[in-house]
With several copies, the nearest count.
Chain A
Amino acid sequence: MQTRIRIQREDFDLNAEVTALAGNGEAGAVASFTGHVRKEGDLTTLTLEHYPHMTEAEITRLVAEAGTRWPLIGVTVIHRVGSLKPGDRIVLVAVASQHRHSAFQACEFLMDYLKTHAPFWKEEARSDGQHWVEHRNSDDDAAKRWQK
């Protein structure tokens, strides 16, 4: 399984990433997810902090786990860090497989586990100052669905 994991400040080109992942006809199905900074009231900036090295290590472990559950051809995970604005993209998870259901399942599994396991923290800047975003229990519930 071809795995690409990148933590970066820059935006990414979804078209180029999916083209690279699909290869030259190796994969019939690519499921992708992009997470975007929502425009919410007076939110001006969303700043992402992470734990260098552990982030990559943890995502590598999650992708390996996905590879044991579904027949995957390739996975690309790109997560941005630094200062983002409403509308900016935060994350890409793209999964190539021979079969679309496997691609969809693995992509959603990876997003659910990324949300609960990958060491990133979001801080919002609003008119009344900076606030760390609270972890959502609904994300834990989403990840628990995949427990075997």
Chain B
Amino acid sequence: MNLLYFAWVRQKIGKGEEQMTPPVSDVASLIAHLKNIGPNYADAFADLSRIRMAVNQHHAGLDAKLGPNDEVAFFPPVTGG
């Protein structure tokens, strides 16, 4: 699984991208898994109302299913335009 982090999510976690193969099948369980990795992840995901996500470059929700080759991105609500 390819994980991407943007904006302050990237800053809190301390990296913009990483590969892992966690034993999870949806976004919610991926977040639970990440929060256990370390305090930087726990801090980034402390308030899920401030987190948005995309799976394979489409906006997705916490219930989106995940497979081993998916690209999953976490980021704050967007502020472009």
Contacts and interface: CB of A to CB of B under 8 A. Distances in A.
Direct A–B contact present (CB less than 8 angstroms)? yes
Interface of A: 35, 48-51, 53-54, 57-58, 79, 90-91, 111, 114-123, 132-136, 139
A121 B76 CA distance: 8
Size category of the B interface is 10 to 19
Contacts of B8: 132
Contacts, number: 71
A118 B78 contact: yes
Chain A at the B interface: SS class? mixed
A121 B81 contact: no
Q: Which of A54, A79, A123 has the most chain B CB within a 10 Å cutoff?
A: A54
Contacts of B54: 51, 54, 119
Q: When A and B form their complex, which 10 residue pairs have the shortest distance between CB atoms, in order from nearest?
A: A120-B80, A135-B77, A54-B57, A121-B7, A115-B81, A133-B79, A114-B81, A122-B79, A57-B57, A132-B8
